[in-house]
């Protein structure tokens, strides 16, 4: 799947290639949490411990060339699996080994939180979302079985171009579909798909997503000036997928995407909030639950996760492990925990801007003025304590 030159370039970027088509790279939030600086939005929204999370993919190849992606256009793309199929047990073992190898330097770091680093030696979560299209790997279900057996939660992201694989997928702790545009021609512009029937594949994928019993999420990556309107159309697509959660996230102006898009295409967090507040008007079954300002992301949940007036979007991981390994039928409702922090803070990117930039932004219409519910200075590590 990778030429020697491409492999060398990825390794320079701190990727570790596993076998012939998989890869591991340490997430910046994993590093932050080991350094005692708090975790990613998946901790705030769902309760994962970022210091115990491994970021990887089972396929560096993809069927899209998304304009907002940090992948270069020289990265492998394909509609079909043309390569050898590595053994899933090998992928598991070598990925964990590579992940720990990337973290070993924190053991001697004066900045590292010793308790957080100690816990990082036990992987409890895997984000199958590093790059490429992990669901295209022909033996993905066998790898999911191994993660489940090892009591490692799975967060898998797919670009919705392989609907049959979504249909046939075994239980995932939380399954994501990327919804990058709600209209056919715009999706072609944003995702630059290889499949001619890309629109039909997306719609079929959403229909299969709606049939899943475990937790599901639809993620919108918003590129300012390109796919940041058509709220009703987005809502129609979301209703088709019937996901438990929605994440509305800003495009981040990093990597090779900077060759295709400008910094002005990256929304401020405040603009993500405004977009979300308009979108939720068209989704009566959902409410906005929380935000993570550094990631410029807002999370919605179905109202069924609000029990007796209290949100339960966090995951009871031991319960999920028990259920998935029991072989019995279970649903997203069976492994929920109370969400420690909810609401919109009314703060955002603008708070870090220059005075001139702040004044310019405040002149925009619909600047959010939500009541402050959340103290964004709270360290996520405090959710669990530092023992």
Q: In terms of CATH architecture, what is 4-374?
A: Alpha-Beta Barrel (3.20)
Supply 46's token pair: 């769902």
| Boundaries of every domain in the chain | 4-374
Any alpha helices (H) in the chain, and if so which ranges? 4-12, 28-34, 41-46, 88-103, 114-120, 140-149, 163-168, 184-191, 198-209, 231-241, 269-279, 317-326, 355-362
pLDDT (0 to 100) of residue 384: 40
Paired with 18 in beta bridges are 22
* Alpha helices (runs of H) in 104-154, residue ranges in sequence order: 114-120, 140-149
- pTM of this structure: 0.89
Q: What is the dihedral of CA 144, 171, 245, 64, to 10 degrees?
A: 50
User: How far apart, in whole angstroms, are the C-alpha atoms of residue 226 and residue 141?
Assistant: 36
Whether 6 contacts 41, CB under 8 Å: no
| Mean of per-residue pLDDT scores for the chain | 88
CA distance 19 to 3: 13
Does pLDDT of 75 surpass 50? yes
Residues found in the chain? 387
Mean pLDDT for the stretch of residues 258-280? 93
Cβ atoms 131, 60 nearer than 8 A = yes
Q: At what angle do helices 317-326 and 140-149 cross, to 10 degrees?
A: 120
Q: Which long-range contacts (CB under 8 A, 24 or more apart) does 312-316 make?
A: 312/336, 312/337, 312/338, 312/339, 313/45, 313/46, 313/245, 313/289, 313/339, 314/45, 314/46, 314/47, 314/338, 314/339, 314/340, 315/46, 315/47, 315/48, 315/153, 315/173, 315/174, 315/215
What distance in Å separates the CA atoms of residue 36 and residue 111, rounded to the nearest whole number?
A: 8
CB under 8 Å to 4, separation ≥6 — which residues? none
Considering 224-228, 345-349, 356-360, the range whose residues carry the highest mean pLDDT is 224-228
With H, G, I as helix, E, B as strand and everything else as coil, classify residue 89: helix
Instruction: Quote the CA–CA distance of 42 and 249 in Å, as a whole number.
Output: 12
pLDDT (0 to 100) of residue 72? 65
Strand 125-128 to 53-57 pairing: parallel
Q: For residue 366, what pLDDT is reported?
A: 41
Other CB atoms within a 10 A radius of the CB of residue 57 amount to 28
Q: What is the pLDDT of residues 279-290, one digit of tens each?
A: 999 999 999 999
Q: Which of 271, 266, 272, 269 is nearest to 254 (CA)?
A: 266
* Residue-wise pLDDT tens digits, 187-245: 999 999 999 999 999 999 999 999 999 999 999 999 999 999 999 999 999 999 999 99
What's the pLDDT at 370? 32
Per-residue model confidence (pLDDT) at position 376: 37
CA triple 75-130-30, angle to 5 deg: 140
Dmax (CA) for the chain in angstroms is: 59
- To the nearest 5 percent, what fractions of the chain are helix, strand and coil? 40, 15, 40
Separation of CA 310 from chain center:
24
Q: How much is the average pLDDT of 241-250?
A: 97
């Amino acid at each position: 799947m990778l030429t020697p030159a491409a492999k060398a370039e990825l390794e320079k970027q701190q990727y570790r290639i596993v076998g012939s088509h998989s890869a591991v790279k340490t997430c910046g939030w994993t590093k932050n949490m080991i350094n005692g600086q708090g975790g990613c939005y998946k901790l705030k929204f769902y309760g994962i411990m970022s210091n115990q999370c491994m970021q990887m993919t089972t396929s560096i190849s993809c069927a899209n060339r998304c304009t907002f992606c940090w992948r270069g256009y020289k990265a492998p793309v394909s509609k079909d699996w043309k390569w050898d199929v590595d053994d899933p047990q090998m992928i598991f073992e070598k990925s964990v080994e590579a992940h720990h190898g990337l973290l070993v330097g924190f053991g001697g770091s004066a900045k590292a939180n010793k308790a957080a680093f100690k816990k990082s030696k036990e992987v409890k979560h895997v984000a199958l979302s590093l790059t490429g299209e992990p669901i295209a790997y022909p033996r993905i279900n066998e790898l999911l079985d191994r993660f489940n057996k090892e009591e490692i939660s799975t967060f898998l992201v797919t670009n919705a171009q392989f609907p049959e694989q979504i249909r046939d997928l075994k239980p995932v702790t939380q399954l994501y579909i990327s919804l990058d545009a709600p209209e056919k021609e715009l999706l072609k512009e944003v995702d630059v798909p290889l499949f001619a029937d890309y629109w039909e594949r997306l719609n079929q994928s959403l229909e299969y997503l709606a049939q899943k019993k475990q937790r599901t999420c639809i993620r919108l990556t918003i590129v300012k000036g390109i796919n940041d309107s058509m709220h009703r159309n987005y809502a129609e697509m979301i209703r088709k997928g019937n996901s438990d959660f929605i994440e509305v996230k800003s495009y981040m102006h990093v990597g090779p995407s900077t060759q295709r898009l400008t910094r002005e295409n990256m929304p401020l967090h405040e603009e993500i909030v405004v977009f979300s507040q308009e979108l939720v008007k068209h989704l009566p079954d959902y409410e906005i639950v929380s935000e993570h300002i550094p990631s410029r992301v807002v999370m919605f949940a179905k109202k069924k996760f609000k029990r007796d007036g209290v949100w339960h979007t966090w995951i009871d991981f031991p319960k999920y492990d028990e259920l998935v390994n029991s072989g019995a039928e279970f649903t997203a409702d069976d492994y929920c925990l109370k969400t420690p922090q909810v609401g919109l803070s009314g703060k955002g990117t603008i708070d870090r801007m220059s005075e001139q930039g702040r004044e310019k932004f405040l002149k925009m219409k619909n600047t959010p003025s939500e009541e402050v519910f959340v103290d964004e200075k709270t360290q996520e590590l405090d959710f669990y304590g530092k023992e």
